[in-house]
Amino acid sequence: MASAITNFFNLLVLSTILIIKNGENSEWISETKLLGQMKEKVSHLHFYFHDTISGGKPSAKQIAGPKVPGFGTMMITNDPLTEGLELTSKLVGKTQGIYASAAQKEPGLLMVLNYAFMEGKYNGSTSSNKGYVNC
């Protein structure tokens, strides 16, 4: 069995070397070119994120973790993004993703969220964010 695994590994390495060698002058492999520094483009977005975890129509639900929310609690979310502070104000997008309580002693969340915009200049645009939020 060890001989077969060794032979397979050697064949894999050899074929990889041949593919790389034959592809050196191929047109489908392009070189990376430095284009110089580009001017930074900044967009300022202003919206309200409504995460409702209780009541008749919650926008986030617990999917894993202890019965009493705390360390290890995982939530899945489909939250509205609105133009104003009130939930009834104009809907400009939605957020979908997962967040989890990731700290044992202090409150903190690991968040993986996708923002989808459905109104105005950014209609059809998305932004994906992941990170840690120290609450």
Instruction: Tell me the per-residue pLDDT of 28-84, one tens digit each, with 9 for 90 and over.
Output: 444 556 566 777 788 888 899 999 999 999 999 999 988 888 898 999 999 999 999
pLDDT, average across residues 97-122: 91
Q: Can you give the residue ranges of every domain in the chain?
A: 44-135
Mean of the pLDDT values across residues 16-39?
Answer: 54
Q: Which residue has the higher pLDDT, 101 or 26?
A: 101
Residue 54 CA to its chain's centroid (Å): 25
Over pLDDT 90: what percentage of the chain? Answer: 44
Cα–Cα dist 33/83, whole Å: 41
Q: Classify residue 15 by its DSSP letter.
A: H
**Dist CA 70 CA 83 (whole Å):** 31
pLDDT band at 18 (very low <50, low <70, confident <90, very high): very low
Phi, psi torsion values for 85, nearest 5 degrees: -65, -35
Q: How far is CA 56 from CA 53, 59, 61, 83, 97, in A?
A: 10, 10, 12, 23, 20
Alpha-carbon distance 70 to 108, whole Å? 10
pLDDT given at position 26: 46
User: What mean pLDDT do residues 82-87 have?
Assistant: 93
Look up the pTM and report it: 0.65
CA nearest neighbour of 80 among 109, 52, 55: 52
Q: In this predicted model, what pLDDT tens digit does every residue of 39-52 receive, in sequence order?
A: 778 888 889 999 99
